[in-house]
Structure 1
């Protein structure tokens, strides 16, 4: 969970053929890994109190209530218990801090947009920036989300290409990709010493861009979407380091995928790949379920077998 599996998945070629299943598998690896790290320390710490989690918790309650017949765990086991509790608290606190920071950044960004943009006359929940560089990103919100377009994008892209860009950004909002990015961002911040946490964040960012591309392809042709992506990326590249920044920078500040135009994403649009076969997708989903269920089941397996 911590090293070989994420490393192998980040290099796998099949993920672009089944981005939905790949995203679910990444989530299962992160959740299963977290449960395994916490659960292993928890089981070690509770080992003197019982052979499984349920019996150990019952014995722990009896110990707290003063039962003299319960064996008191030693200092090593207490250290393991403290480590499990502290690590679990660290993960939850990091997620809460990341959510709070992202919420504040979005609020500030919305204030700037009120000053620097105007509502679109033709599209609901869309703001138009008075800037020559093609920019397109979305700002998620609890009550209302908005899509931000620049004047340069509306000028340089044809109506069909504009529809492709808007469909792409709308899919990010409809599928709430910002929550997915938030979870993996928090995981990366909680475990910065683990190289694979960064691999998972980068992989998920790329996969949700593919998901948004697939959604846009339901409304426009592949050539139209590809041309729109290349036009925006080519225009933004020379100014990416300037004060205005690129659309991806703005998107990342508000907790959304940056719309990175990776070679793998372009290759996927240039050369369509056959979707993963149903048996293979089923196998991936089965692995996903097992990765989430097994750590929890193993904690209470001895008691289940005894019953």
Structure 2
């Protein structure tokens, strides 16, 4: 079991720094944001499982299996005495694993509750201050001179535009903006961003958490851009992005948790409009998909292997 703990610990270290760093600096994600987004999710899930799994397996090593450790410790958890084969370091590892898992789960739940409250408040304000846009279902118009577009996800979704935006854009540009916002809603980008925002909030001292959150936010914007490119055209989307700019650019939406695209993100999105939308070849795409699957499978298989008796 110690070998499995070392394996999981080393894997967690790889997923905590070098692999995310390489991914965040790579060029190919801008050509295939959907695959890159899936890889980021695999890294986050695999890294969390590996960190917690490493501590669990090490702490349970005196019993030879996770189930064996549970059977040996749970009956004595409150009554004592703890079996002598479990030292202080093993108990500390098990306590840290349980605490880390609970911390991450509670932080995710708290982030989800706060996001839901914010969505309800947004919907209430939208119903009060906006009017339906003729010919565009689930689209509302605010009487405000600042060009702005955003969307509010949830069970009841809404795309919100301002009068200033409608006056500033022509029909093709406006169509691109609406398609962009609806892509966020249809593809449930708010759920992905919520998970990474919770990860960053739970581990604010963890430098890769901030990098991951920003990378995922940019990839979500690029995915929405691709929908707009299909329903309008690249030139219309480019003009809309330049017209609106960072003061309310297409893609800023109410559940982003503060991750609103800045100038750097805007520049990255504009630059990719002249690039192909797919990876250089199916082999590359398959390699990334297989990598994501392996990243998630390694800690799961390792934990399953230590679940029962292990010599």
Structure 2, gaps ≥5 residues long: 1-14
- Tell me what 2:270 maps to: 266
CA contact (8 A) 1:134 1:156 kept: yes
Q: Take 2:224 and 2:273, find their aligned partners in 1: how far apart are those partners?
A: 12
2:231 alignment partner, SS class:
coil
Matches within 5 A, 1:101-116: 101-116=114-129
CA contact (8 A) 2:183 2:224 kept: yes
Instruction: Give how far 1:301 is off.
Output: 2.9
Matches within 5 A, 1:44-123: 44-50=58-64, 52-60=65-73, 72-123=85-136
Q: Quickly say closer, same or farther: Cα 1:280–1:268, change in 2 above 3 A.
A: same
Q: Deviations over 1:170-225 (max 9, x none)?
A: 01000000000000000000111110000000000001111111111111111111
- Tell me what 1:285 maps to: 289
Instruction: Give how far 1:54 is off.
Output: 4.4
Q: Quickly say closer, same or farther: Cα 1:154–1:120, change in 2 above 3 A.
A: same
Q: Take 1:206 and 1:264, find their aligned partners in 2: how far apart are those partners?
A: 8
- Tell me what 2:207 maps to: 195
Matches within 5 A, 1:192-271: 192-233=204-245, 237=246, 240=247, 246=248, 251-252=253-254, 255=257, 258-260=260-262, 261-271=265-275
CA contact (8 A) 1:102 1:254 kept: no
Q: Quickly say closer, same or farther: Cα 1:292–1:276, change in 2 above 3 A.
A: same
> What is the root-mean-square deviation in Å for CA atoms of aligned residues?
2.7
Q: 2:55 aligns with which of 38, 41, 50?
A: 41
1:197 alignment partner, SS class:
helix
Q: Take 1:172 and 1:26, find their aligned partners in 2: how far apart are those partners?
A: 18
Instruction: Give how far 1:80 is off.
Output: 0.9
- Tell me what 2:302 maps to: 298
2:240 alignment partner, SS class:
helix
1:270 alignment partner, SS class:
coil
Q: Quickly say closer, same or farther: Cα 1:213–1:253, change in 2 above 3 A.
A: closer
TM-score when scaled to structure 1? Answer: 0.87
Q: 2:176 aligns with which of 142, 147, 164?
A: 164
Instruction: Give how far 1:278 is off.
Output: 0.6
- Tell me what 1:178 maps to: 190
Instruction: Give how far 1:3 is off.
Output: 1.2
Q: Take 1:103 and 1:95, find their aligned partners in 2: how far apart are those partners?
A: 12
- Tell me what 2:12 maps to: none
| 1:30 maps to 2:44 | yes
Structure 1, gaps ≥5 residues long: 241-245
Instruction: Give how far 1:284 is off.
Output: 0.4
| 1:130 maps to 2:143 | yes
Matches within 5 A, 1:143-162: 144-162=156-174
Instruction: Give how far 1:61 is off.
Output: 5.8
Q: Quickly say closer, same or farther: Cα 1:128–1:21, change in 2 above 3 A.
A: same
Q: Deviations over 1:45-97 (max 9, x none)?
A: 111111x434444555676799x9x7651222111111100100000000001
